[in-house]
Amino acid sequence: MKPFSDINKQLSILKSRNLTISDDNLARNSLMRYGYYEIVNGYKTFLLDSSSDTDQYKDGATFKELIDLYDLDKNIRSAVMLATLEVELSLRTAIAYTLSEDFGVKESEYLKYKNFKQGETFEEHGRVTNERNEMLNILKGFRKRDIEPLNHYRENHNHIPPWILMKETSFGNLKHIFKLLKGPQKKKVISICYGIDIDKVSDEHTALFKDSLALINAFRNRAAHNGRIFNFKPEKYPIRYNAIFHPHNGFSEASYRKGNGKNDLYTLYKTLEMFENFNAQFNLEFYLSYHIGRHCKESPNDLTLLITEMGFPKEIMDTLIDKYYKQYQED
């Protein structure tokens, strides 16, 4: 059983492991605010003495460096949230547009069972149901909410069109709706989101889009729950090897088998590049490179481990830092 250690004990443990703490009050407040596990266990890898078999820190390692790494990761989480929000907005718009154009603007038209695939069947609360039933029940529940602009459309138009109802959905809801769309509607959504002609949407595009939504959602959830994100690799949601995506981004099949281009932050970055919404990738690359550049100006030795864990090629990160951080500093 892992024993509880109060704040003073936590400070004593860190000092006994050769970590320099110049301001006990600052360290105490930081540990109380964010937690020992989040700060220390999350980022100690950068500062540990590799020659030691125990958690001993390198000579000169400081608590401030741990806090700086924590703050960097917090800024990366914010960048991920901004980027994935753009994807959510694009996906919501594309689904609403497709439902409206293909089925109509009244709930009785676009929420018909026949418009969607059944999905998986399962038992819940002693009854057999399926994904389509559950998804439609959720959407029908949204339309009963006593909020604007739902009230306005109910009272003045006697229906709630898709572009209004979809405003109530989460990214997870949207991902599920996309899964249950039939082939023609899936193609239309992909065509809108990727900015390509619908006739050019292939099975490879469909597979990539599905995998991308799962990976984006995993990163979004991780960021929303303040999880460590610079080295996050959701094993359940890899981008499966794709003839459109991987060769274009320099990932050979051999490289992919070694873990490249699957589920790291760089893979997320490249999936965002596929979207017609320029702001999705831009928000990630701008804030990511700016904050890494600023951090590594003070701690240049951290760069190698950071880009290795994120999966970024060094030349690409160097280019982004030059483009955004250094240029911004000069301006």
Distance CA 139, CA 166 (A): 8
121 within 8 A of 128, measured Cβ to Cβ: yes
Ordered per-residue pLDDT tens for the chain, 331 residues: 778 889 999 999 999 999 999 999 999 999 999 999 999 988 998 999 888 888 899 999 999 999 999 999 999 999 999 999 999 999 999 999 999 999 999 999 999 999 999 989 888 877 888 999 999 999 999 988 999 999 999 999 999 999 999 999 999 999 999 999 999 999 999 999 999 999 999 999 999 999 999 999 999 999 999 999 999 999 999 999 999 999 999 999 999 999 999 999 999 999 999 999 999 999 999 999 999 999 999 999 999 999 999 999 999 999 999 999 877 775 5
> Tell me, what's the pLDDT at 161?
95
Looking at residue 105, the DSSP 8-state letter turns out to be S
Average pLDDT, the chain: 94
Query: How many CB atoms lie under 10 A from the CB of residue 50?
Result: 7
In which region does residue 104 sit, left (phi positive, over 0), alpha (psi from -120 to 50) or beta (all else)? left
Beta-carbon contacts of residue 147 (< 8 Å; ≥ 6 apart)? none
For residue 265, list its beta bridge partners: none
SS3 321: helix
Between the alpha carbon of residue 175 and those of residues 165, 227, 255, 295, 300, the distances in Å are 15, 21, 29, 35, 39
Beta-carbon contacts of residue 117 (< 8 Å; ≥ 6 apart)? 132, 179, 180, 181, 182
Looking at residue 249, the DSSP 8-state letter turns out to be G
